[in-house]
Structure 1
Amino acid sequence: MDEKREPEEGIVLTEAQLRSRRQRSIAIALALGILVVLFFAVTLVKGPAVLVRPL
């Protein structure tokens, strides 16, 4: 149970690639946040009429 594991060999990213990955993740998070705010705003503007519709 107390085994020492060797670090797995695989793809090692450069600093530029890590920076690029972080910027891409932040951009995706911001886009998702803006989309959530947009949906919330549209829901507030439409008001309770969203629930009143013919079946």
Structure 2
Amino acid sequence: MLLFHLDILEEIIKYLLMKNSYQPIRKNYCFLKFWINLLLQIKHFLTYFITQ
């Protein structure tokens, strides 16, 4: 269930990234990229933890 929510969150962030990509605001992009990486790491950790 939690992994499912993380997937949705990831999609939302990806959408925001796409939306922001044409804007010259570099800071926002870096911020979103940081969150995407964080979410992916949490997801990988949880996947590993659940499958063990």
Q: Which amino acid is the alignment partner of residue 22 of structure 1? A: K
Distance 2:28 2:47 in 1: 29
Q: Deviations over 1:1-55 (max 9, x none)?
A: xxxxxxxxx86251110000100000000000000000011xxxxxxxxxxxxxx
Q: Which runs of 5 or more residues in structure 2 are unaligned?
A: 1-18
Bigger-Rg structure (1/2): 1
TM-score (norm 2): 0.54
**Residue 20 of structure 2 corresponds to residue 17 of structure 1:** no
User: Whose helix fraction is larger, Structure 1's or Structure 2's?
Assistant: 2
Q: Which amino acid is the alignment partner of residue 44 of structure 2? A: G
Q: Match of 2:37?
A: 26
How many residues get paired?
Answer: 32
Greater RCO, CA 8 A, separation 6+: 2
Q: Which runs of 5 or more residues in structure 1 are unaligned?
A: 1-9, 42-55
